[in-house]
Amino acid sequence: MINDVPEIIVQFLTYHETIKNHSKLTVNGYYYDLRMFLRFMKRHKGLAGGKFDEIRVDDIDLQFIKDITLDDIYAYLSFLSRERNLKQAARAREVAAIRSFFKFLTQKVHLLENNPVAELDSPKLKKTLPRYLKLDECVQLLSNVSGRFKARDYCILTIFLNCGLRVSEICGIDTTDIKDDSLRVLGKGSKERVVYLNDACLNAIKAYIPERERLQPLNEKALFLSQRRGRIDRRTVHNLVKKHLSEAGLDHTRYSSHKLRHSAATLMLQNGVDVRTLQEMLGHEHLNTTQIYTHIEDTQLREAAKANPLGKL
């Protein structure tokens, strides 16, 4: 139970967990972000002193929130940058939490008439190309899998690189989710989608099943098991990806399990899969999320320049 924030924050979090069906990670993020926001507001308005992380906010009432202005929020963003040293992406997340909270107050529960953040801009984020493994590096990674759980790890890496699943989706696969060449995936916000398995994935799963059975699973549903015979967790997946990247001679500090998702998306785009299909396969709610993968290699840019008929004048 959350008892160190005002009741209206609890209502907001409950709304996102039950109505919006957001994940626990998202809801917890809103909780921490809004608690820090209210702590700053009490200090900013001269109502609290002492250690910042010990400022109480459970006594804040609706009138206090109504009195928050856009200038107050700009002061908070300055605090995040100067005192907390938060980067642009982290500050943008804070802005998203505040926006969502005031939208809830004005449009859902109608406790505020005016939204003080209606004109608030998010910090501009630098657009960077996602890191990804090239085709030969993917082959290099898969060709160097070894160890006690070789079949399991190879299967996980194969599904990553062929299907572009998230880490949480890999961990959540049950044996009953696989029917012929289709895989039922439970994605963000408990949204289901179907991903089709190619021969490489099907063969990897087939090779892993005997190893799974030898472990005598404690969790009969989970496809991928840990050494304790229960469902594998995110940390174990992250660690095994780093381990096999390193053993394959690839820079494990530059790549991660999420970069394998980038790699799968990039390879599919480079081989003719359209963005709309990729959006469905990756489980993106919005197309602009998928479009970060539409980066083009320098060689393709050079070919495009050469293809221009004016290039020979």
Catalytic residues: 166, 188, 258, 261, 284, 293
Q: Going along 141-294, which residue ranges are E strands?
A: 178-179, 182-186, 192-196
Residues in the chain: 313
Q: Which amino acid is at 250?
A: L
Question: What span, in angstroms and rounded, lies between the C-alpha atoms of 88 and 135?
Answer: 32
Q: Token pair for residue 16?
A: 């996102």
Write the CB contacts of 48 (distance below 8 Å, at least 6 apart in sequence): 39, 42, 55, 56
Distances (CA, A) of 202 to 112, 182, 268: 55, 10, 18
Question: What span, in angstroms and rounded, lies between the C-alpha atoms of 117 and 70?
Answer: 6
